[in-house]
Amino acid sequence: MRLTHPKIILTVAAVVALALFAGLAYSYSIWPFRERSEIEAGEVCSSLGPSSSVVNALTKVLPEESSYSFDENASLRVDVTDTNYEFSCFVSGGGKQLLVVEARLMEDEPSKSWTQWVKGTAANETSVKSLTPFTAGDKAVASSRFAAIFVPCTSAGKAPGGQYNLSVSTELKQAGSSSDAAVRDELIKLTRTASSYIHAKAKCDMTPKIDQ
């Protein structure tokens, strides 16, 4: 029997096209057939802190990708008089940068001016549009895409210019499937954990006040 009815022909063509797409998608690991890679603790940037808690937080906030990569850079302090300390951890997957954690030693300043400054460090302005405070360090703010803590580090008289703090921030550039509230909580956890670890490695002499 010949299929001559236009609707039947279109239906058959649609089914064939869908089957072809499904086959190609599976072959090339295209969503929804992409298999999510597990984040290995040994691959995570060391300065983010204890790997088990970091892996758990990253798994909750990052989008599903078939592989993840971590790139870490650090400029360490020589001693407590040194005013130079910078750290960065870049998390990538699927050919995109997914998350960035950064830390910088800087002179202490009022909360309002630091908040304005740290907003300017975000790569995406929308990440910092809805920042609200939380309790940590001298000042801390977070949204569903960004979290930052201003952590006391070197007391006045130890380094030129007075007290120095560590500004530690986490920016989520590509979101996963978790709710905004859940992501904000996990970004805060990531930033707290990184701040604690970095504070210990940055030759700080002040109490960080991270967990309050």
Query: 164 and 97, same structural domain?
Result: yes
The pLDDT, as a whole number, for residue 79 is 85
Neighbours of 57 (CB within 10 A): 24
Q: What would the two tokens of residue 134 be?
A: 């939380």
The pLDDT, as a whole number, for residue 3 is 45
pLDDT band at 28 (very low <50, low <70, confident <90, very high): very low
Query: 73 and 89, same structural domain?
Result: yes
In a domain, 103, yes or no: yes
> Does the predicted TM-score (pTM) go above 0.85?
no
Inter-CA distances, 122 with 46, 94, 130, 173, Å: 22, 21, 13, 10
**Degrees to nearest 5, angle at CA 177 with 175 and 183:** 65
Q: What is the mean pLDDT of residues 109-136?
A: 92
Query: 22 and 125, same structural domain?
Result: no
Query: 148 and 67, same structural domain?
Result: yes
Query: 195 and 105, same structural domain?
Result: yes
The pLDDT, as a whole number, for residue 37 is 76
Segments forming the whole domain that contains residue 21: 1-34
Number of domains in the chain: 2
Q: What is the mean pLDDT of residues 28-49?
A: 70
In a domain, 30, yes or no: yes
Query: 124 and 19, same structural domain?
Result: no
Could you identify the residue written with the tokens 């870049």?
90
As a whole number of angstroms, the distance between CA 186 and CA 123 comes to 19
Residue 211, pLDDT > 60, answer yes
Query: 48 and 17, same structural domain?
Result: no
In a domain, 60, yes or no: yes
64 DSSP 8-state letter = P
Query: 176 and 131, same structural domain?
Result: yes
Average pLDDT, the chain: 84
pLDDT tens for 143-188 read: 999 999 999 999 988 888 889 999 999 999 988 888 999 999 999 9
Query: 89 and 17, same structural domain?
Result: no
pLDDT tens for 75-116 read: 888 888 889 999 999 999 989 999 999 999 999 999 999 999
In a domain, 78, yes or no: yes
Query: 4 and 48, same structural domain?
Result: no
Query: 118 and 46, same structural domain?
Result: yes
Could you tell me where the DSSP H helices lie in the chain?
6-27, 51-61, 111-120, 180-201
The pLDDT, as a whole number, for residue 8 is 54
Percent of the chain having pLDDT more than 90? Answer: 55
